[in-house]
Amino acid sequence: MPFNGDIQQLAEEFESRTPQEILQWAFAEFGDDIAMSSSFQTQSMPLLHMATRLKPDLRIFFLDTGYHFWESLIFLVRVASDWQLNVVDLNRDSRWDVFVRQNLRNLPLDDPNLCCYIHKVQPMQKAVAGLRAWITGIRRDQTDVRAQAKILEVQEDGLVKVNPLLNWTKADVAAYIEAHNLPSHPLTAKGYRSIGCAPCTVAVGAGDSDRAGRWAGRGKTECGLHTEMFRQKEYVVS
């Protein structure tokens, strides 16, 4: 059932609401037809903590790309077990298997956009296809693209995207983590402040932005989940 409310008006109203209030509205509105995606890094912890305290059985989508740091996978298992999370692993479409095996080492470096489409965009498209709403943890202070986002957005297929932390800052995230004694990804202490796949993530310096270590030197700051790429049903060479 498509959402019949005034998305624009609600999005404006939610600019002054807390993330918890936005989540409470979303769970009341969409019931079980909602899920959340998470990368399970340190900055993911506040939203995971808030959302699953309000809805313990919430489905948490994790994109299992096959390129993650082993530390990320161990951290995921630890948090999912300690918090009894309902984690759903998302994998690439099997039609890409032969191609990926043949290009396993070079794909992330030679064509990171295609790699992200195969391992992130397409699996998430499939996962959210039967839902009414999708919760993400993006923030406006992360990238120029995300700075243009709204707390509530509706996609062409009617899917409502809910971004409860959009107005939060890096400092807000840190304060919540400290206040609730939330766990930290082991690579955070080594300078990895934004953690993605191992081939495309490096540690950053104190004066760098958190996402400076993602696809460093490649002119790329987004995997495609929050860009026009997510609307593509097939990969389009840019």
78 phi and psi angles, rounded to 5 deg: -65, -50
Q: Give the closest residue to 36 by CA, choosing from 167, 224, 44.
A: 44
The reply to whether 223 belongs to the active site is: yes
| Catalytic residue of the set 115, 116, 197, 223 | 223
Structure tokens at 133: 């709403």
- At 237 the three-state DSSP class reads coil
Q: Give the closest residue to 60 by CA, choosing from 71, 68, 49, 74.
A: 49
What is the greatest pairwise CA distance in the chain? Answer: 50
Identify whether the C-beta of residue 39 lies closer than 8 Å to the C-beta of residue 75. Answer: no
Output the CA–CA distances (angstroms, integers) from residue 232 to 113, 144, 225, in the order listed.
13, 21, 11
Identify whether the C-beta of residue 145 lies closer than 8 Å to the C-beta of residue 222. Answer: yes
Positions annotated as catalytic residues are 223
